[in-house]
Structure 1
């Protein structure tokens, strides 16, 4: 083991104190003026670690031994922790997780977005999820292997393809326990390989969805478009016989090697076409959402209530406001806020998703919403006769808002932009890009994903005077 005066090299082992937590989950330590990013480390620990990557100003390392424990560490509650590629923070107490997540996103905004650290909400811990276990309403499982070696589970930590067999995940409600194990046993017996298992590979993704308000379960099986569809109906029957709350079984196919858990072509749809989730506003009113197999919906239902209510609080909508809801999905925050504004106009690329949003508005008797399929960055696709927006809500994918869309947003000159993001880095980048016309006024982080490195952010930008 090296000491403080010994230069480090790749493969060497050093002892360091973990000072903080990087976005992504690695612990941060300092050694001889160099920043060390240590995998599986908790702030406050003193650890021995082995250097795995060495650069000029930083190094990456894997933990070898905990020399001194931290008061914020705890025993993980899942047998797969450390091997599974999902959770990274089960070994840290939950209040410490929300503290560090709040600090991470504030530091990212300050460093990348050049935002002053005295903005309202900056530096505050992330708002906690009401549930820390069983909170997910959607889980995507991968297939790997063939026959007795076929596995249904999650990608292993640090691997792009290797799948760890998962009997049950504690982040899903108990009503979904055992689903992956049941599917795995059936698919092993089928003697049909997974998608990547050479010629004739078939099984691709198993998506389990559950509505927390109703308990309804949806299973979406995604396969290759191969000649093995005869194996699906017996699996569907098996699942219906074993799951009393299973309401929907969808079978879709997908081409290509891209590892997405969405179907391109619907082959069959058994049971009900949707399951229904309900979110409650702070004023006690409820909003229902019909969830289709490919629909986007926040993966933490009780966390979504915290997120959306916080959005309304931060945005301070007015009864006279015309609101554009971009990347609107199946209605999401726009439907949640519709009662507070004059009109909500949702725009989304997918025609299927626009139809779903329209159906959700009808389900709730909300009449002040309109939804369009189109590309905001294209004047050709964008309706020309829409009223000018007072507020734009944008909830983009992790890659952030495309540059042409940002340009279009600025040209519309709304008084407010409410930006919801699952990626603090792209949020910071886009806030900086909007900085020539808009000022970040309020900010909040919400922990929608306990025990993982992910966090949701809300930023309110107002037009500069």
Structure 2
């Protein structure tokens, strides 16, 4: 909740009362559905207990009790845990988000970063990794994952999520996509790349991008052609078509999926898996 005046004890007391009412309403709602299995009811009750209230004013933020929620997604029979921080980007539809992660795992199993038996051996590059949404899901599928993200808060959340899910084979660089691209092309060095596998030892063949609605920047778009496999997740079909057009002569669409993240709206999420012709 956002205000134009400072928040004091009176607001905190009212917020606690609101929180109690909301938690009671959530628990009552799910308790009335007798068809829900006991395990589902327990998960939903946990969700109610995890309901937090946040107040914002100028240079002020009051959290009751936390500034994040913990989200659990079941992806291919494995539970993934995510810390979703208030104010940061997250997938709006958890059910569809799980399907997107499952799809990404499925298409990359057939990439050239795997041997004939499907064992991982390469290192994919992920641009715009955010809080590690796809990173967490794909880490077990590869020997190592190199990821970039410019937001400090998102990088911190991503590192938390990787640790929570036992993913130790990921290197995250807090850099903009175009900065990483320029450095990779020149085989240069930056302080934020310390600890990363040396350039000449990296085997980057698969690229995963999940850019904002504006699509890829010019440098990243040019980068598409250097990868034999590209997984492109897009919330804007128009910029997806534009960016795919940049590699139409060298790549073909091997897999394509549409995810209805936003029911009853004109917006749609797309997944495209491109491979060299």
Shorter chain as denominator, the TM-score bin is 0.7 to 0.9
* 2:167 is the alignment partner of 1:366: yes
Distance in structure 2 (CA, Å) of the matches to 1:266 and 1:348:
26
The CA deviation string for residues 68-88 of structure 1, in whole angstroms up to 9 with x for no partner, is xxxxxxxxxxxxxxxxxxxxx
Structure 2 unaligned segments of length 5 or more: list them: 24-47, 115-119, 184-189
> 390, 393, 397: which is aligned to 2:205?
390
Decide whether aligned partners of structure 1 residues 238 and 358 sit closer, same or farther in structure 2, where only a CA change above 3 A counts. same
Displacement, 1:435?
2.3
**Pairing 1:291-330 to 2, within 5 Å after superposition:** 291-316=84-109, 317=111, 318=114, 319-330=120-131
Decide whether aligned partners of structure 1 residues 285 and 398 sit closer, same or farther in structure 2, where only a CA change above 3 A counts. same
> 22, 25, 36: which is aligned to 1:243?
22
Q: Partner of 2:274: helix, strand, or coil?
A: strand
> 267, 271, 274: which is aligned to 1:454?
267
Aligned to 2:61: 267
The CA deviation string for residues 105-145 of structure 1, in whole angstroms up to 9 with x for no partner, is xxxxxxxxxxxxxxxxxxxxxxxxxxxxxxxxxxxxxxxxx
Distance in structure 2 (CA, Å) of the matches to 1:374 and 1:266:
28
Displacement, 1:455?
1.2
Displacement, 1:409?
4.3
Decide whether aligned partners of structure 1 residues 309 and 266 sit closer, same or farther in structure 2, where only a CA change above 3 A counts. farther
Displacement, 1:440?
2.2
Distance in structure 2 (CA, Å) of the matches to 1:455 and 1:313:
21
Task: Indicate the structure (1 or 2) with the bigger Cα radius of gyration.
Answer: 1
Distance in structure 2 (CA, Å) of the matches to 1:270 and 1:345:
35
Aligned to 1:424: 237
* 2:214 is the alignment partner of 1:399: yes
Aligned to 1:129: none
Instruction: Give the stretch that moved more between structures: 401-410 or 368-377.
Output: 401-410
Decide whether aligned partners of structure 1 residues 444 and 266 sit closer, same or farther in structure 2, where only a CA change above 3 A counts. farther
> 135, 143, 149: which is aligned to 1:348?
149
Instruction: Give the stretch that moved more between structures: 436-445 or 397-406.
Output: 436-445
Distance in structure 1 (CA, Å) of the matches to 2:99 and 2:5:
45
TM-score by length of 2: 0.75
Distance in structure 2 (CA, Å) of the matches to 1:399 and 1:340:
29
Displacement, 1:388?
4.0
Structure 1 unaligned segments of length 5 or more: list them: 1-220, 255-264
**Pairing 1:23-38 to 2, within 5 Å after superposition:** none
Displacement, 1:449?
1.9
Structure 1 runs of 4+ with >4 Å offset: none
* 2:2 is the alignment partner of 1:222: yes
TM-score by length of 1: 0.46
| Contact map agreement 1:327 1:394 (CA 8 A) in 2 | yes
| Contact map agreement 2:19 2:52 (CA 8 A) in 1 | no
Distance in structure 2 (CA, Å) of the matches to 1:376 and 1:328:
10
Distance in structure 2 (CA, Å) of the matches to 1:251 and 1:346:
33
Displacement, 1:343?
1.2
